[in-house]
Amino acid sequence: MSPSTTPTPDPALAAGSGAGASSTRPDASATAVTSSTPDASRRRRRRSAGRIGQVHPLVALLWLLPALALILGVVLYPAIKLFQASQGQYSITGLRKGDAGWDNYVKVLQHEDLGTVLTNTVIWVVSVVAITIVLSLALAQFLVKQFPGRRLVRWAIIIPWAASLVITSQLFVLLYDYNYGIINHILLSLHLIGQPIDFLGDDSWTMFSMVVVGVFVSLPFTIFVFIAGLGAVPDDVLEAATVDGASPWQRYWNITLPLLRPALMIATVLNVIYVFNSFPIIYTLNDRNPGYTHDTTITFMYKLAFKSQEKDVGMSAAAGIFNVLLILLVVAVYLKIINWREETSR
């Protein structure tokens, strides 16, 4: 056969055979794409991150040792010694005479002034914390705005928190003084009262006077917690609500306040603990009054050991155990309520 008569392959058949070949032979690029899907990539990243983040338990324990030592020395050891003291009998000089078992707890529960002390504690904690939270929310909202001298005002607010509680309380003792206190002087000059008020001696004014001091020293910390919380509120969300026609109160109630919930929870829990354990304020302002008329559980515990007729260290230690259990119960109930509200709002 001559070269001129050589058959020419049909283009259609050539194309078909090429397509068939490609359909029966796996494409390498397709396999690569399939193997690098987003799920596979995430799994690989997760495995690599897990390998990088793995820390040997002994290494983790080594890093935690300082904190564990601090907890052991400052919290656990004193708690153990307090419990041991609560089950002992002691002389008036503090020498242990023997074991008392659970008798000290029974004596505390049967104390005739325990009801008054518990009532005072509830009034003191609830009043100081509630007023502090409300005032701090308002003041923090003001202090996040731009105005001349804002930095100076913020510095001035932190002073009561930095000062010693004993010094601050003693300062208020002078301010409340019946004869020479500046508060009585101002009220008399303005003709708001006809005679001086015995703020720390009159039973109707003593608790109010202590609450004022408690709020005064609690405001700085709470205000700065809320300032930090307000700084995390997105401006674009507030601007969008303004464009939608929301009033300032609606923006605050429906946007700002819900976003402040973490800061609000931290401020409330810490204030409950601080105010409940606030010994210097109550003792300094109420030291002149006999009995337990205006005492809370923290000063009640102190007086049982050193200033009452009992002078019983064992009873005082038992009251201290009750104090710890009570504050843990209050904080646990509060956190439970907060979690319940969050679950029901979802």
CA distance 343 to 346: 5
* pLDDT on residue 34: 45
Whole-angstrom Cα distance, residue 204 to residue 201?
A: 9
d(CA 100, CA 16): 102
The model's pLDDT over 74-107, given as tens digits with 9 standing for 90+, comes to 888 888 888 888 888 887 777 788 788 888 899 8
- The whole-number pLDDT of residue 42 equals 63
- Most trustworthy range by pLDDT among 40-44, 152-156, 225-229: 225-229
Mean pLDDT of the chain: 81
Query: For residue 8, what pLDDT is reported?
Result: 45
pLDDT tens digit string along 188-245? 999 898 899 999 988 889 999 999 999 999 999 999 999 998 888 888 888 888 887 8
Tens digits of per-residue pLDDT, 182-203? Answer: 999 999 999 898 899 999 988 8
Cβ distance 112 to 304 under 8 Å? Answer: no
What CATH architecture is 114-290? Answer: Orthogonal Bundle (1.10)
23: pLDDT confidence band, cut at 50, 70 and 90? very low
Tell me the Ramachandran region of residue 90: left when phi exceeds 0, alpha when psi lies from -120 to 50, beta otherwise.
beta
DSSP-assigned letter for residue 4: G
Question: Which pLDDT tens digit goes with each residue over 297-340?
Answer: 999 998 888 887 777 888 888 998 998 888 888 888 877 877 76
Unique residue bearing structure tokens 């679950």: 343
DSSP state of 6: P
Looking at residue 53, what is its pLDDT? 54
Measured CA to CA in angstroms, residue 15 lies from 8, 23, 26, 30, 189 at distances of 14, 12, 18, 21, 110
Q: Which helix (H) or strand (E) holds 320?
A: helix 313-345
Spell out the domain ranges in the chain: 114-290
The residues, ordered by sequence, that sit 6+ positions from 141 with a Cβ below 8 Å of its Cβ are: 226, 230, 252
Of the two residues 111 and 337, the one the predictor is more confident about is 111
